[in-house]
Amino acid sequence: MTGAEGTHASTEHHAEPLFLGFAPPVAVVSSSMIVLLAILAWKGVPKMIGKGLDGKIAEIKAQLAEAKSLRAEAEVLRSEYASKIANAEKDAAAMLDHARHEAEAIVAKAEADTTETIARREKMAQDKITAAEFAAVTQLRNQAAAAAAAAAKGLIAANHSAAADKALVDQAIAGI
């Protein structure tokens, strides 16, 4: 193959098919598209598509408005619950503080009551000890007096006779 044959092969033209012998395929496809678009425009398809899109847009806008209102409600609820939580925390702190003060008051009262009870029981014990000492002293005195009386009776009976008693009685009578 020489250079002339190589150029001859590339310049070779093929015949394009024609529609009904006079229209090339590009013209047929283009005219078919134009006819299709004209039919669609005549039937109102663009209006239907526009209405459908407008309906979708309205639906999306309604959903967005609803989402905004729900978000606003959620924000209100969140702030409300945040304030409730803050109030609950304040109330809990106040209750805890009150409980501490009450516990301290109860402990102080219990200590005072315990001190008072101990003092009262010590006094009762002292009173019982004093009463027991007094009873023991009284009993001891009574026993001592009884022993002294018995000893005196024994001494008198041993040292004095009936004649000595008569002399003492006579002397006492004379003194009166």
Structure tokens at 14: 């093929």
- Domain borders along the chain are 17-174
Q: pLDDT digits over 90-130, tens only? A: 999 999 999 999 999 999 999 999 999 999 999 999 999 99
Per DSSP, 73 falls in state H
Closest CA to 155 of 164, 46, 105: 164
CA angle in degrees (0–180, nearest 5) for 89-90-93: 85
Q: Which residues contact 16 (CB under 8 A, 6 or more apart)?
A: 24, 25
The secondary element (H helix, E strand) that includes residue 2 is: none
- Average pLDDT score over the chain: 86
- 52-56, 111-115, 165-169, range with the lowest pLDDT: 165-169
Helices 45-159 and 25-43 pack at an angle, to 10 degrees, of 60
pLDDT one-digit tens code per residue, 135-162:
999 998 898 888 888 888 887 777 777 7
List, in sequence order, every residue forming a beta bridge with 23; answer none if it has no partner: 19
Q: Of 13, 12, 31, whose CA–CA distance to 22 is shortest? A: 31
Identify the pLDDT of residue 165. 73
Rounded-to-integer distance, Cα 171 and Cα 165, Å: 10
The amino acid that residue 91 corresponds to is D
Residue with tokens 């044959």: 5
What is the rounded CA–CA span in Å between residue 91 and residue 93? Answer: 5
